[in-house]
Amino acid sequence: MEIVKTQAQGDLSTDKAPEAKLAQSPLAIRGLTVSYGEKPAVFSVDMTVEPGQMTAIIGPNGAGKSTLLKAALGIVAPVSGRVTIFGRSLAEQRARIAYVPQRASVDWDFPTRVIDVVLMGLYRELGLLGWIKGAHRAKALDCLERVGMGDFATRQIGQLSGGQQQRVFLARALAQGADLYLLDEPFAGVDAATEKAIISVLKSLREAGKTVVVVHHDLATVAEYFDNVFLINTRRVAEGPVSEAFTEETLQAAYGGRLATSQIDKLAKA
């Protein structure tokens, strides 16, 4: 019964946004609820990502940021809700999506080299049995160059620093050649040089008309890096351009007592 109810809510909220806008949006989410056990991690969330812009998903720890992204990508199954990618279902649009998981989500001791990880971004293109040709390798190397990792192609991935591993993941996403890039905490625990390299790649993607959505944890850089924010704390708190949605009220609502008022003041003014 629960499920039916939330589904109905999701459908109601669909009516609020004009259909045309939904069809254009690289990622539109309606009435999404995801639960690990009893307590929902994401509850009845609507989200409409603006095309050709950079959007940050922010919120306190455990607010459902990563879960929202994973549900949008079909990695975790939602209890209810609807996700459209450029107006169509996820299954139809997989080729237009690139994903960068959290660095800590994989085992970096896995026996593989840097270039092999980037080649994984081409697996959709290659299919089950397609042969890896020189052109594929050249493309993978080019993606590594773009993140400043060209010299590391034949290294075992376990030998890289955290920042270097993150750049390899970004290179793999570039190899996917997508229109929508979804990144889960790409700046977590990386060095300053890596952060700079990643943001410059993301900005070049935006210049090329791509859409970038980033789960982000550093409130201090939100205004500098992003066009839009999506604040979440299990439910949607605010969504819109940084100047409108990233304010004292919305931060207070999302983080509650977890941020000192003085911190929020400073961020909102920045």
Partner 1 sequence: MSGEEFVPLSLTPMLIGIFAAVACALPGNFLLLRRQALIGDAISHVVLPGIVFAFLMTGVIATWPMMLGAAGAAIVAVVMIEAIRRLGRIEPGAAMGVVFTTMFAGGVLLLEQSDTSAVHLDVEHALYGNLESLIWLDATGWSSLLDPEALRYLPTELPRMALTLLGVCLFTALFWRALKISTFDEGFARTMGIRTNLLGLGLVITAAVAAVAAFDAVGSIIVIAMFICPPAAARMMTNRLEAQIAWSVLFAVLSAVLGYVLAGFGPLWLGGGDAVSAAGMIATVSGVILAITARFGPCRGRSGVPATV
Residue 120 touching partner 1 (CB under 8 A): yes
> 80 — phi, psi (to 5°)?
-155, 170
Q: Which is nearer to partner 1, 165 or 250 (CB)?
A: 165
Tokens at 76, concatenated:
């975790």
DSSP assignment of 53-108 = SEEEEE-STTSSHHHHHHHHTTSS--SEEEEEBTTB-HHHHGGGEEEE--GGGS-T
Least separation in angstroms between CB 251 and partner 1: 29
Residue 99 touching partner 1 (CB under 8 A): yes
Among 8, 88, 158, 200, contact with partner 1 (rule: CB under 8 A): 158
Q: How far is CA 108 from CA 33, 168, 244, in A?
A: 32, 12, 40
Amino acid at site 42: V
Span from 153-161, 185-193, 209-217, 254-262 in contact with partner 1 (CB under 8 A): 153-161
Span from 51-59, 66-74, 210-218, 260-268 in contact with partner 1 (CB under 8 A): 66-74
What CA–CA distance (Å, rounded) separates 177 from 111? 25
Residue 126 touching partner 1 (CB under 8 A): yes
φ/ψ region of 69 (left if φ > 0, alpha if ψ in -120 to 50, else beta) reads alpha
Residue 175 touching partner 1 (CB under 8 A): no
Among 75, 104, 193, 220, contact with partner 1 (rule: CB under 8 A): 75
Contact residues for partner 1 (CB under 8 A)?
A: 36-37, 70, 73-75, 91, 94, 97, 99, 101, 105-107, 109-113, 116-117, 120, 123-124, 126, 128-129, 156, 158-159, 172
